[in-house]
Amino acid sequence: MRKLKNNELGRISIDEFKSTKKTPIIVVLDNIRSLNNIGSVFRTSDAFLIEKIYLCGICATPPNKDIHKTALGATESVAWEYVENTLELVKKLKVEGVKVLAVEQAENSTKLNNFYPQENQKYAIVMGNEVKGVQQEVVNAADLCIEIPQLGTKHSLNISVTTGVVLWDLFQKIN
C-alpha cells in the first residue's frame, strides 16, 4: 500500500465547494471557548459538506489565527454566521422547519446509533460548551436530544471529537 500524495486526493476548490450540493445539516456551536475546537469543527464540516456553522455566545469568529491553525482554510469554504443568542437562533431555525438536535446527555435522550434522519429533512445539531454542555434552555427548546453511547469511566468526549462522530454518523445515514 502507498500513501496518496496531496495532488492525488481529488480535492475540490473553494468555489467548487460553495457550489456543491450540501449535506442538509447545520452545526450550532453554543458558547464554545476553545478556538482550536472551533477550527476543528470547521475542518470536519468541510469534510462532510455541511451547509453552515453558527457561532453563538462566547464563540470566537474568523479570521483568527488560532481558529485557522486547526481549520486549515475551512473558514473560507464553509458558510458561517455569528449569532449572539443560541436560544433565539434555535427558535428561528425551528420556524424555518429545521429539526434541532441537542447533542447532550439528558433524560430520555436518543442514542445516536438509534437515531435515523428523515428523508428531505434539514437538521441542526447543537454542540455545547466544553464544561457546561448545551444550555438547559436550549435543550428544552430542541426537538430531540441525541447522545453518543459511551461505556468507559469518563462518559465525556471533546466537543471536536463529538462533532466528528455525530457528523459522520448523520452524513453516512443521509447518504
Region 89-99: mean pLDDT is 98
Tell me the β-bridge partners of 26.
52, 124
Question: Could you tell me the pTM of the whole model?
Answer: 0.96
* pLDDT band at 147; cut points 50, 70, 90: very high
Strand order in the sheet with 80-83: 80-83, 50-56, 23-30, 123-127, 99-103, 144-147, 110-111
Q: What distance in Å separates the CA atoms of residue 130 and residue 161, rounded to the nearest whole number?
A: 11
* Each residue's pLDDT tens digit, 150-168: 999 998 999 999 999 999 9
Three-class DSSP category at 124: strand
- Could you give the domains of the chain? 20-174 (3.40.1280.10)
pLDDT at 22: 98
* pLDDT tens by residue, 134-144: 999 999 999 99
